[in-house]
């Protein structure tokens, strides 16, 4: 399984905080996972996940979209951080 977490604007736009998907060859990178999520869900997901400034984290580290995924990984999608 791959755990997926959404935060802030992204979470609000798609109405989902956390979900899991089975790992497979079709979701072997973050970019591929994004494609699958957009494919399975609707327009809101496409808009949210295709934002140019979307940030991806893999196991709680920011990574680029071509980062490879393996069984048990935790992926997160969120907008640029605004703490401090």
How many residues sit in the footprint of other proteins (CB under 8 A)? 17
Told to check if 51 binds other proteins by CB under 8 A, we report no
Told to check if 16 binds other proteins by CB under 8 A, we report no
3-state helix, strand, coil in the chain (%, to 5): 35, 25, 40
3-state secondary structure of 72: coil
Ranges of H-type helices in 1-84:
8-14, 30-40, 43-49
Told to check if 52 binds other proteins by CB under 8 A, we report no
* Beta carbon nearer to other proteins, 5 or 44: 5
Binding site for other proteins (CB under 8 A): 5, 7-9, 53, 57, 60-62, 76, 78-84
């Amino acid at each position: 399984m791959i755990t997926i977490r959404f935060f802030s604007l992204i979470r609000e736009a798609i109405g989902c905080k956390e979900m899991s998907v089975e790992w497979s060859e079709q979701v072997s990178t973050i970019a591929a996972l994004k494609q699958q999520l957009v494919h399975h869900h609707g327009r809101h997901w496409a808009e949210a996940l295709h934002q140019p400034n979307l940030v991806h984290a893999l196991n709680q580290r920011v990574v680029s979209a071509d980062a490879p995924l393996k069984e048990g990984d935790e992926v997160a999608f969120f907008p640029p951080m605004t703490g401090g």
